[in-house]
Amino acid sequence: MTFMASIRKAVILAAGMGTRMLPATKAVPKEMLPVVDKPLIQYAVEEAVASGIEEVVFVLAEGKEAITEHFGHLSRVEAFVREKGDRDLLAQVRAPSNLARYEYVLQDRPAGIAHAVACAREFVEGEPFALIFPDDLIVSRTPCTAQLVDAYTSCGGSVIAVEQVTPEEVPSYGIVDPVGSGNPVRLKGLVEKPAAADAPSNLGVVGRYILGPSIFQHIERTPPGKNGEYQLTDALASQVAAGEPVCAYAYEGRRFDTGRPLGLLVAGVEVALCRPELREKLLPHLHRLTERSVTG
Ligand code: G1P
């Protein structure tokens, strides 16, 4: 029997405080910071939809109302544009609302990623689903989530996107322990943010996962871990310990950590360069700036 994956739902986590982007994130959710002319979270939804996802569950925290408004109908801006009768502009304002079906849940306290995922349980229970962190923006030929959906089909269990990280970066990532090589590769363990000396590999977890339906039972029985938070890495390690297939997948693409100023800045430049109408106008500026920095 061939194992065919059908992943219809995605959970998008948008409950973090965004402390690394203060003061920009004092009143504006970090997921609403723009890359060129769209907020980060819209890229996450577009990636999900381009990967076959039909329903998105947002896990939000207090103060993230701008996200609900962005994906909802009947915003102030929509009413204004409708009144003006500008059809093109109206289509742009409405685009985010029409990408998928949306559900919203509130995480009432910051208690870790596994806790945030558990908040979405009632909407995704009983089927595998994608998990996306919008501050990891990934530019790729095939959407990263679609790559993971394929890998899920061959793995038959949870799949985690990974990339190589340097020893200095190891303590900032979940690190996987693969069985041999291959892509996807089955795992015999995972550790959340180990010291470089204790890391089982140099493959760090990035913010894209396909989670098998048993994940909620494993989250339930996994105690708080690193930093006293409920860690998804530990719940995945529990799936591994139970003998379930769990795989890492080294995705094709470039990731930008937009939760930090430099990552957001570079993502903006790179995404702009992918848009022909902006590329032409941006390149002369970049040339001028690089020439100046070379000559001092
Ligand atoms: C989280 C996960 C970590 C993963 C990272 C990817 O950490 O706990 O395993 O490597 O996301 O972005 P955070 O960056 O939220 O501290």
Q: Degrees (nearest 5) of the Cα angle 17, 118, 241?
A: 115
Band of residue 73 on the pLDDT scale cut at 50, 70, 90: confident
Are 158 and 275 in the same domain?
A: no
Q: Which of 38, 201, 65 is nearest to 134 (CA)?
A: 38
In a domain, 3, yes or no: no
Check whether residue 49 and residue 187 sit in a common domain.
yes
Name the residue at shortest CA distance from atom 16 of ligand 1: 172
Report the separation in Å between the CA atom of 168 and the middle of ligand 1, taken as the mean of its atom positions: 15
Q: Which atom of ligand 1 is nearest to the CA of 193?
A: 9
What is the whole-number distance in angstroms between the Cα of residue 230 and the centre of ligand 1?
12
The confidence score (pLDDT) of residue 2 equals 44
- Domain presence at residue 2: no
Q: Tell me which of 43-47, 81-85, 262-266, 292-296 is least confident.
A: 292-296
Which residue has the least CA distance to atom 9 on ligand 1? Answer: 174
Question: Over the stretch 116-161, which tens digit does the pLDDT of each residue have?
Answer: 999 999 999 999 999 999 999 999 999 999 999 999 999 999 999 9
Measure 286 CA to ligand 1 centroid, in angstroms: 32
Give the separation between CA 233 and CA 218, rounded to whole angstroms. 11
pLDDT for res 212: 97
Give backbone dihedrals phi and psi of 289, rounded to 5 degrees, phi first. -65, -40
What distance in Å separates the CA atoms of residue 224 and residue 232, rounded to the nearest whole number?
Answer: 10
Q: Which of 19, 137, 205, 249 maximizes ligand 1 atoms within 8 Å of its Cβ, making it the mutation to test the pocket? A: 205
Domain containing residue 128: CATH number: 3.90.550.10
Same domain, 21 and 141: yes
- Report how far ligand 1's centroid is from the alpha carbon of 136 (Å): 10
What sign for the dihedral angle of Cα 160, 184, 162, 170? positive
pTM metric for this prediction: 0.95
246 in any annotated domain: yes
Q: Give kind and range of the element (H or E) at residue 164.
A: strand 159-164
Q: Is the pLDDT of residue 231 over 80?
A: yes
282/208 same-domain check: no
Q: Which residues contact 269 (CB under 8 A, 6 or more apart)?
A: 282, 286
Tell me the residue range of the domain where 269 lies. Answer: 261-296
Atom of ligand 1 minimally distant from the CA of 204: 10
Q: Is the residue at 107 inside a domain? A: yes
Atom of ligand 1 minimally distant from the CA of 135: 12
Measured from the CA of 205, which atom of ligand 1 is nearest? 10
Residues 141 and 268 in one domain: no
Query: Are residue 111 and residue 187 in the same domain, yes or no?
Result: yes
pLDDT at 296 over 80: no
Predicted local confidence at residue 159, as pLDDT:
98
Q: Do 224 and 266 share a domain, yes or no?
A: no
Among the atoms of ligand 1, which is closest to the Cα of residue 113?
A: 8
Residue among 248, 191, 240 nearest 214 (CA): 240
- Which of ligand 1's atoms lies nearest the C-alpha of 226? 8
Whether 278 and 199 share a structural domain:
no
> Do 86 and 200 sit in the same domain of this protein?
yes
CA–centroid distance, 94 to ligand 1, in Å, is 32
CB-CB contact of 216 with 125 (8 Å)? yes
55 within a domain of the structure (yes/no): yes
Ligand 1, residue 136: give the atom nearest the CA. 12
Query: Does 229 share its domain with 177?
Result: yes
Q: What is the pLDDT, as a whole number, of residue 219?
A: 98
Domain count, the chain: 2
Clarify whether residues 182 and 290 are in a common domain. no
Per the domain annotation, does 57 fall within a domain?
yes
Give 174 Cα–ligand 1 centroid separation in angstroms: 6
Q: Specify the pLDDT at position 1.
A: 41
The verdict on 242 and 267 lying in the same domain is no
* 1 in a structural domain: no
What local confidence, expressed as pLDDT, does residue 77 receive?
A: 86
DSSP count for the chain of H helices, then E strands:
11, 13
- Residue 243, in any domain of the structure: yes
Rounded to the nearest angstrom, the distance between the alpha carbon of 206 and the centre of ligand 1 is 7
Cβ–Cβ under 8 Å, residues 53 and 145? yes
Average pLDDT value for residue range 186-215: 97
Give the pocket of ligand 1 (CB within 6 Å): 113, 133, 136, 173-174, 192, 204-207, 231, 233
